[in-house]
Amino acid sequence: MSSGGWRLRVHGSRVIEVVCESVSIKTLEWERIHQTLIETDFNISEAARRLGMHRRTLARKLEKQRVR
């Protein structure tokens, strides 16, 4: 997954601020879905289980994005 516009502000060994510059929630969601599909060899049922959503919900999201 790409880090997009993420920036960490660190003080010593502690992260004190995490800033997201222009990365939408939708983009982050699709990056996570895509990564999970790769990890599960595009097994929709297993990917949905790992993502914590119903299989049909994931299938609808994929259909909406025309991923087949």
By C-alpha distance, which of 45, 2, 43, 46 is closest to 22? 2
The full set of domains in the chain, from first to last, is 6-64 (1.10.10)
Q: Does pLDDT of 43 surpass 50?
A: yes
CA 63/CA 68 separation, integer angstroms: 7
Indicate if the pLDDT at residue 20 is higher than 80. Answer: no
Residue 17 has pLDDT above 70, yes or no: no
Q: What is the pLDDT of residue 5?
A: 64
- Convert 1-39 to b/e letters by CB count within 10 Å (16 or more is b): eeeeeeeeeeeeeeeeeeeeeeeeeeeeeeeebeebbee
* pLDDT at 1 (0 to 100): 44
Q: Give this prediction's pTM.
A: 0.64
